[in-house]
Structure 1
Amino acid sequence: MSSKNIATNFNESTKAFVSPEYIRNRFSTIMSNMYKDEVPLYGELLNLVHDINNNVLSESKEIKEQLTNTGEITRLNMERHGAIRLGKPQELFTIRRLFKVMGMFPVGYYDLAPAGVPVHSTAFRAIENTALNQAPFRVFTSLLRLDLIDDDQLRDNVETILENRTIFTEKALQLIEKSEKEGGLNKENAETFVQEALETFRWHDTATVDNEVYEALLTQHRLIADVVAFKGPHINHLTPRSLDIDKVQASMEARSIPPKDNIEGPPTRKCPILLRQTSFKALTEKVTFKNSVENGKTGEHKARFGEIEQRGVAVTQKGLDLYNELLGKTRKAIGGSPTAENAAEYNQLLKENFKAFPDNYNELQLEKLAYFHYFTSNKVKSIAKNKAYTKTDVNQLLKDGYLTIEPMVYEDFLPVSAAGIFASNLGTNDAKREYDGSSNQSLFEKDLGEPVYKLMKWYDDMQDETIQKCLAQINA
Structure 2
Amino acid sequence: MSTSEFLSTDAIRRLFAQAMSRMYRAEVPLYGDLVDLVAQINAQVLDTDAELASQLQRNDGRGRLDEERHGAIRVGTAEELSTLRRLFAVMGMQPVGYYDLSVAGVPVHSTAFRPTDAAALAANPFRVFTSLLRLELIEDDALRAQAAAILARRRIFTDDALALIEQAEHDGGLSAADAERFVAQALETFRWHGDATVALDTYHALQEAHRLIADVVSFRGPHINHLTPRTLDIDAAQAAMIERGMAAKAVIEGPPPRACPILLRQTSFKALEEPVHFPDGEGGRAGSHTARFGEIEQRGLALTHKGRALYDQLLTQAREADAAGSTGADYGQRLQAVFVGFPDDHATLRAEGLGFYRYQLTDAGRAAPGRVADLPAERLIAEGLATADPIIYEDFLPVSAAGIFQSNLGGGEQRAYAAHANRSAFEEALGARVHDEFALYQQLQDDSLASLRA
Question: Does the alignment reach a TM-score above 0.5?
Answer: yes
Corresponding position of 1:413:
396
Q: Deviations over 1:292-338 (max 9, x none)?
A: 5615x211111100000000011111111111111100000142432
In the alignment, the residues of structure 2 paired with residue 157 and residue 443 of structure 1 have an alpha-carbon distance, to the nearest angstrom, of 22
Aligned partners of 1:170 and 1:207: how far apart in 2? 21
| TM-score after normalising by structure 1 | 0.92
Q: 1:452 aligns with which of 434, 439, 444?
A: 434
Q: Distance in 2 between matches of 1:448 and 1:376?
A: 41
Shift of 1:376: 1.8
- Partners of 1:258 and 1:445 lie apart in 2 by 37
The alpha carbon displacement at 1:398 in A equals 3.4
Deviation of 1:347 after TM superposition, in Å, equals: 0.3
Verify the 8 A CA contact 2:210 2:415 in the aligned structure 1.
Answer: no
| Whole-angstrom CA distance in 1 between matches of 2:92 and 2:305 | 27
Kindly provide the CA deviation profile for residues 369-396 of structure 1, in whole angstroms up to 9, marking residues without a partner as x: 0110001234436769599659xx3334
Query: Where do residues 294-373 of structure 1 align in structure 2 (5 Å cutoff)?
Result: 294-295=283-284, 297-339=285-327, 342-343=328-329, 345-373=330-358
Which residue is 2:387 aligned to?
A: 404
Of 410, 413, 418, the match for 1:427? 410
CA deviation map 1:144-173 (0-9, x unaligned): 011111111111111100000000000000
Q: Label 1:293 to 1:471 Cα distance change in 2 as closer, same or farther (>3 A).
A: farther
2: CA distance, partners of 1:241 / 1:108: 20
The reply on whether 1:214 has 2:212 as its aligned counterpart is no
Q: Is the alpha carbon distance of 1:353 and 1:157 closer, same or farther for their aligned partners in structure 2, counting shifts above 3 Å?
A: same
User: Who is 1:91 aligned against?
Assistant: 80
Contact 2:278 2:287 in 1 (8 A): yes
Q: Structure 1 residues 221 and 387, CA, compared in 2 at 3 Å: closer, same or farther?
A: closer
Partner of 1:173: 162
Task: Give 2:237's aligned residue.
Answer: 248
Counterpart AA for 2:157: F
Q: Distance in 1 between matches of 2:359 and 2:423?
A: 33
**Structure 1 range deviating more: 311-320 or 327-336:** 327-336
Q: Which amino acid aligns with 2:257?
A: T
2-structure distance, mates of 1:62, 1:399: 17
Question: Residues 118 and 195 (structure 1 numbering): CA distance in 2 closer, same or farther, change over 3 Å?
Answer: same
* Alpha carbons of structure 1 residues 382 and 74: separation in structure 2 relative to 1, 3 Å: closer
Partner of 1:7: none
Give how far 1:130 is off.
1.1
What is the rounded CA distance, in whole Å, between the counterparts of 2:233 and 2:38 in structure 1?
9
Maintained 8 Å contact 1:87/1:143: yes
Distance 1:381 1:287 in 2: 62
Name the residue aligned to 2:365.
380
Match status 1:395 vs 2:378: yes
Structure 1: how far apart are the matches of 2:26 and 2:55?
A: 34
Alpha-carbon contact 1:389-1:471 (below 8 Å) kept:
no
Cα pair 1:148 1:437 within 8 Å, conserved: no
Give the equivalent residue in structure 2 for 1:464. Answer: 446
Task: Write out aligned runs for 1:184-195 (5 A).
Answer: 184-195=173-184
One-letter amino acid of the structure 2 residue matched with residue 424 of structure 1: S
Q: Superposed, which structure 2 residues align to 1:15-164 within 5 Å?
A: 16-164=5-153
2:70 is matched by which residue type in structure 1?
H
Change over 3 Å in CA distance of 1:352–1:218 after alignment to 2: same
Aligned AA for 2:177? E
Is the Cα–Cα contact under 8 Å of residues 361 and 387 in structure 2 kept in the other structure? yes
Question: What residue is the counterpart of 1:438 in the other structure?
Answer: 420
8 A contact 1:266–1:273 mirrored in 2:
yes
Whole-Å separation in 2 of the counterparts to 1:403 and 1:262: 38
Q: Which amino acid aligns with 1:364?
A: L
Q: Contact 1:260–1:425 (CA<8 Å) still a contact in 2?
A: no
**Alpha-carbon contact 1:282-1:304 (below 8 Å) kept:** yes
Q: Distance in 1 between matches of 2:93 and 2:435?
A: 11
Indicate whether 1:264 and 2:246 are aligned.
Answer: no
Give the CA RMSD over aligned residues: 1.7
Q: State the Cα distance separating 1:136 from its structure 2 match.
A: 1.1
Q: Given the superposition, is the C-alpha separation of residues 337 and 221 from structure 1 closer, same or farther in structure 2, using an over 3 Å criterion?
A: same
Distance 1:140 1:306, change over 3 A: same
Whichever residue aligns with residue 223 of structure 1, its letter is: L
Tell me the distance in 2 between the aligned counterparts of 1:228 and 1:386.
Answer: 63
1:400 shift after superposition: 4.2
- How far 1:195 sits from its partner (Å)? 0.4
5+ long unaligned stretches in structure 1: 1-11
Amino acid at match of 2:297: E
Partner Cα distance (1:234, 1:145) in 2: 18
What letter corresponds to residue 258 of structure 2 in structure 1? R
Secondary structure class of the residue paired with 1:277: strand
Amino acid at match of 1:408: I
2: CA distance, partners of 1:442 / 1:428 = 32
1:16-56 CA deviation, whole Å, 9 max, x = no partner?
21011111111111111111111111101111111111111
Query: What is residue 231 of structure 1 aligned with on the other side?
Result: 220
2:268–2:296 CA contact under 8 A, matched in 1: yes
Measure how far apart 1:255 and its partner are: 2.1
SS of aligned partner of 1:252: helix
8 Å CA contact 1:334–1:346 kept in 2: the answer is no
Provide TM-score, normalisation by structure 2.
Answer: 0.97
The whole-number CA distance in structure 2 between the counterparts of 1:198 and 1:398 is: 46
- Alpha-carbon distance in 2 for matches of 1:387, 1:259: 49
Q: Tell me, in whole angstroms, the C-alpha distance in 1 between the residues paired with 2:200 and 2:366.
A: 73
Larger radius of gyration: 1
Amino acid at match of 2:321: A
- The 2-side partners of 1:25 and 1:293 are apart by 44
Residues 421 and 185 (structure 1), Cα distance of their counterparts in 2 relative to 1, 3 Å cut: same
Give the match's secondary structure for 1:78: coil
